[in-house]
Structure 1
Amino acid sequence: MPRLLRWPASLALATAACLLAPVTLFAFAAQTGAPPPARTADVVEHLFGHTVHDPYRWMEGDSNAEFQHWLVAQGEYTRGKLDALPTLKSWQQALASTDGTTVIHRNQRRAGGRLFFIRQGAKGSGTLMVRDADGTERVLLDPATLQGDGGHASITLYTPSPDGSKVAVNVDHGGSEVTRLDVLDVKTGKPTGDVVEPVWGEFGAQWLPDGSGFGYTQMAPSAQRTGGDPVQDMRARLHRLGTPSSRDPILLRAGQGEGVNPSFAMPSRSFPVIEFPVGSRWALGESLGAQADQRYCVAPQVEAAKPGAAWHCIADLDDHVQSAAIHGDTLYLVSTHARSHGEVLALDLSRPDASIGQARSVLPLKGDDMVAGISLYDAQQVAPARDALYVKVSRNGIDDIRRVDYRTGKVDAVPMPLPGVASLFHADPGQDGFLLELRGWTTPPKSWRYEPAAGTLHGLGQDEGSPVDYSMVEATETELVSQDGTHVPLTILHRKDAALDGSHRAIVFAYGSYGISVLPSFKPTRLAWVKRGNVFAYAHIRGGGEKGEAWHQAGKGPNKHKGVEDFVAAVQRLSELGYSRPQRTALLSGSAGGLVVGGAIVHDPDKFGAAVCLVGELNPIRLLHARNGANQIGEMGDPRKASDFPWMLAMDPYQQITPHTAYPAVLLAVGLNDNRVSTWQTGKFAARLRTADTSGRPVWMRTDANGGHGMQTSLGAEAAQFADIYAFLDAQLPAQ
């Protein structure tokens, strides 16, 4: 085991003394115009042959009054600086008018002859609507009307019952993503009284086929969470309508303790989920995590609905299965084990010895055909409907849908109404056809319902219109050549009349984690930047899924630096093509993308003009001391292992800051209710970067008191954030 040097007693006394100091220091900072200072108390560790210094470890911890005080002061300081920027009001007006008239329809679902959806305008994060069979639309739940929430409640997810008579809604109060799941009667819009909590906002109700109850994934009580992490030790339970939730049995559990099932045990960082597909006798058990590959087991539904079921496990992590679904006695799996671009396998569960080795491929794929991978969109990979299996296949960034007949195995391509990416693709095993939404970089989303009997797509009447004319903007698809010679896709949004003289300010966005692809998205807030004569580019760096699982692995773990190199190479490519110059180009990313934007800041500070990092992961060697940390081990590594620690240290932006270095201007943003990435990661990075920097350029921290990780950001909040970003970049990137 590595030896940890304990804090000396003198530092403990210094900590206590400093609790009284911040008010004086912040007052001094306000008078001098400097950002609020941060004290240093270096913690030194010797880990696997490396000496690690951590002068701002005192910021860590969820109940850290000193850090919270410092963070609030940072936000107030930055707010004052942003408000004084000369172009801020202009951007606020432009983006407010853009988003103020926009209405988005998303997360459409069909059930019982009804269409459910979220309608979102400039204010609020979205209202749950229903369209009845006669075409009448009405509100089921407007979270802004909930009492005692100060207008900050939002719907993270909802799930209609199979017959459409009820809907289970996850409501988040304040951006933390910890939700209360309420059941509404669809006919009356009234709550039924069935309530379960706390539930992480990504996990909705898994209805029983007869609608008599549902499975759900509940967060552990605070005292039972490993390391106090709110997303560890979750358990799958079953709620029967009309019964007290306190009696809901535990069906599966992550970690140890009551409810653990030996036939389907899982580590505390996994998320247990049980699905009960309509029309099947089988339940699908899932052990999920923040990684591309997942574990899947099956059991008869009648047994799975009771504690102690005997689960038959089909796919483990070594099988590289990314998703699974059941229709009847067939389990469909999307695997990258034999084909990096993915293949769809089918397994007959009626065989008592069913194993993944017996699974057969059901969808012929050629060349660059890819079973469309993981994205942030509401799109299934394989979608079993009542009439057929539908699969989303992508080639060169354009999606199409393949239909696989259950009886004959015949494969047909569903005619697409226009080229684009499926931001919504959903089928239900109790209904024929599927729902589809397509969008492009400059094309607003359009949505349809596919009717297999007629072989046609019918519009849902919910196409998103553009409140502003962006016809002058076009997308150019090209490539950059990275440091090691790898060709990386690059999308450039620019005005059609843009002069290729290097005169434009530019932003490059990249992500590069979990195998998530950066796909075309119609974003008026981004297009507004381009309309004014700037450039917005998307670098499809390694670590994402744009070229299959091999592309993900090429930028993961010890290869994370490859994604950073790709990101920085995009800046040079824009310069080569004449769109911009490095000093006029900014990098933008967030969340796990903090590793690549932070990596670029610390390793190549002179190769671009500025950087923006939103709710970023910036200190991975302290992963297990952060909220949601253990859940990231599959993607980011385990700092307790001698095999992982050296490359985790190398990709740790906080640890790679070099003293006496000129760094670019940096804007960092956090939501004070973020449960995905602890805010102290951003705080530590900002404090250390300021101390090391010799450029005198700003390192500002933008805080959102009502925000979390940005998963349910309202259009108005997004517009306000990007107005700040654009005004900041106007001030930091030279125009000529």
Structure 2
Amino acid sequence: MKHTLAGLALVLTALAAHAQAVAPLPVAPVRTVTDTYHGVRIDDPYRYFENRHDPVVARWMKAHSAHAHAVLARIPGRQALLEKINRYDAATSERVAQITRVPGDLYFIERRGATDNQYKLSLRRGLNGADQLLVDPDQVEKKTGQPHAINWYRPSPDGARVAYGLSAQGSEAAVLHLLDTRTGKPLGRPVTRAEFGGVDWSPDGSMLVVNRLRAPRGGARATDKYQHSQVWLLRAGRPIAEAKPVFGTATKGVDIRPAEIPLVNFTHDGKWALGVVINGTQREMGLFIAPQAGCWPASRRGSGCCGRPTR
């Protein structure tokens, strides 16, 4: 035990020496903002750090980043270890992130080759068939000048269509895209604010549901967009303006708190719609069920989680 503690002390001493050898860190100034909640005053001395465009914040972050890199670079043997890791990493021909199989022996495959910057989405018809490239974020980057990544994807039950979320510059602010896998052409226009996805398709693949964040409002905080998100029912290829809300805080008979995330899934037999309510990282969730028959175009707008929801 004594030897272990002595070794740990030597390591900490060495790291401290490395840290002292680099430039001192800047101290962030205090700019206290006070809020009162239910009669209790809460002080926030660093709220201005939420504005990454603030020059003081930018300088502080860059200085701390440079300091961390300088400390790490001085660790003995680090560069040799990093080169070894990169060598082994480059030896991998490709990585497969997710495979989704749908009836008809269709395989949707998300993979990244050794020279690819991002995962690409392909469709394979038959286990030994050739791959059809569907979505290539590297090509999107060449067109837009911004790096993009696939956040999620969901094929229709027959594989004829696929919905996928695409975000730019690591933002994870996914935009919903629809693609006809037979022609390789997009369906309709992209739908913004689909960060959480939660996409599912009607049994015939003509309609889909998606969780959509609230539209930005003047004077609202950036985090307010995560409040009161709703599940919308959209006919594939039609404008989002024609979609109808089917599950969320505005649904009658459903108790969902503003920050909770509502999702909808359909059973494969076409009978039931399942409303799932997720509360952040908590393991507990709410579950509602309603007949699918109330979802489709003959139903009235805003009729709830498709039919009448039951918890």
- Regarding TM over 0.5, the answer is yes
Matched, 1:205 2:199: yes
* Structure 1 residues 113 and 76: CA distance shift in structure 2, 3 A: same
- Counterpart Cα distance in 2 of 1:267 and 1:225: 22
Q: 1:92 maps to what in 2?
A: 82
* Contact kept in structure 2, 1:233 and 1:253, CA below 8 Å: yes
1:130-165 CA distance string (max 9 Å, x none): 211252123211211104554621111110110011
Q: 1:26 maps to what in 2?
A: none
After TM superposition, give the deviation of residue 218 of structure 1 in Å: 0.7
Alignment of 1:647-726 (within 5 A): none
Deviates more, 1:287-296 or 1:69-78: 69-78
- Counterpart Cα distance in 2 of 1:44 and 1:180: 36
Helix, strand or coil: the match of 1:221?
coil
Q: 2:101 maps to what in 1?
A: 110
* Structure 1 residues 50 and 223: CA distance shift in structure 2, 3 A: closer
- Counterpart Cα distance in 2 of 1:174 and 1:152: 5
* Contact kept in structure 2, 1:226 and 1:232, CA below 8 Å: no
After TM superposition, give the deviation of residue 189 of structure 1 in Å: 2.5
Matched, 1:171 2:166: yes
Q: 1:191 maps to what in 2?
A: 186
Alignment of 1:241-640 (within 5 A): 241-254=236-249, 260-290=250-280, 291-305=282-296, 306-309=301-304, 310-314=307-311
The TM-score with structure 1 as length reference comes to 0.35
* Contact kept in structure 2, 1:44 and 1:53, CA below 8 Å: yes
Q: 1:526 maps to what in 2?
A: none
> Over the residues paired in the alignment, what is the CA RMSD in angstroms?
3.1
- Gaps in structure 1 of 5+ consecutive residues: 1-31, 255-259, 315-736
Helix, strand or coil: the match of 2:193?
strand
1:178-218 CA distance string (max 9 Å, x none): 11111112123232234221211x42421111000101011
* Structure 1 residues 57 and 312: CA distance shift in structure 2, 3 A: closer
* Contact kept in structure 2, 1:169 and 1:204, CA below 8 Å: no
Amino acid of the structure 2 residue aligned with 1:100: A
After TM superposition, give the deviation of residue 80 of structure 1 in Å: 4.0
- Counterpart Cα distance in 1 of 2:219 and 2:206: 30
Matched, 1:124 2:117: yes
After TM superposition, give the deviation of residue 42 of structure 1 in Å: 5.9
- Counterpart Cα distance in 2 of 1:264 and 1:45: 31
* Contact kept in structure 2, 1:149 and 1:173, CA below 8 Å: no
- Gaps in structure 2 of 5+ consecutive residues: 1-21
* Structure 1 residues 124 and 46: CA distance shift in structure 2, 3 A: same
Alignment of 1:9-20 (within 5 A): none
Amino acid of the structure 1 residue aligned with 2:105: G
After TM superposition, give the deviation of residue 51 of structure 1 in Å: 9.6
* Contact kept in structure 1, 2:156 and 2:201, CA below 8 Å: yes
Helix, strand or coil: the match of 1:96?
helix
* Contact kept in structure 2, 1:163 and 1:211, CA below 8 Å: yes
After TM superposition, give the deviation of residue 118 of structure 1 in Å: 0.9
Matched, 1:161 2:156: yes
After TM superposition, give the deviation of residue 284 of structure 1 in Å: 0.8
* Structure 1 residues 186 and 36: CA distance shift in structure 2, 3 A: same
Amino acid of the structure 2 residue aligned with 1:222: P
* Contact kept in structure 2, 1:158 and 1:204, CA below 8 Å: no
* Structure 1 residues 300 and 94: CA distance shift in structure 2, 3 A: same
Helix, strand or coil: the match of 2:151?
strand
* Structure 1 residues 227 and 54: CA distance shift in structure 2, 3 A: closer
* Structure 1 residues 184 and 44: CA distance shift in structure 2, 3 A: closer
* Contact kept in structure 1, 2:140 and 2:147, CA below 8 Å: no
* Structure 1 residues 211 and 58: CA distance shift in structure 2, 3 A: closer
* Contact kept in structure 2, 1:130 and 1:139, CA below 8 Å: yes
Helix, strand or coil: the match of 1:146?
helix
- Counterpart Cα distance in 2 of 1:170 and 1:42: 38
- Counterpart Cα distance in 1 of 2:166 and 2:33: 41
Matched, 1:223 2:213: no
* Structure 1 residues 167 and 280: CA distance shift in structure 2, 3 A: same
> Greater relative contact order: 1 or 2 (C-alpha under 8 angstroms, separation 6 or more)?
1
- Counterpart Cα distance in 2 of 1:145 and 1:162: 27
After TM superposition, give the deviation of residue 167 of structure 1 in Å: 0.9
- Counterpart Cα distance in 2 of 1:157 and 1:240: 19
Amino acid of the structure 2 residue aligned with 1:252: F
After TM superposition, give the deviation of residue 57 of structure 1 in Å: 4.4
1:563-584 CA distance string (max 9 Å, x none): xxxxxxxxxxxxxxxxxxxxxx
- Counterpart Cα distance in 2 of 1:56 and 1:224: 23
After TM superposition, give the deviation of residue 285 of structure 1 in Å: 1.3
Amino acid of the structure 2 residue aligned with 1:114: L
Q: 1:180 maps to what in 2?
A: 175
* Contact kept in structure 2, 1:299 and 1:311, CA below 8 Å: yes
* Structure 1 residues 203 and 94: CA distance shift in structure 2, 3 A: same
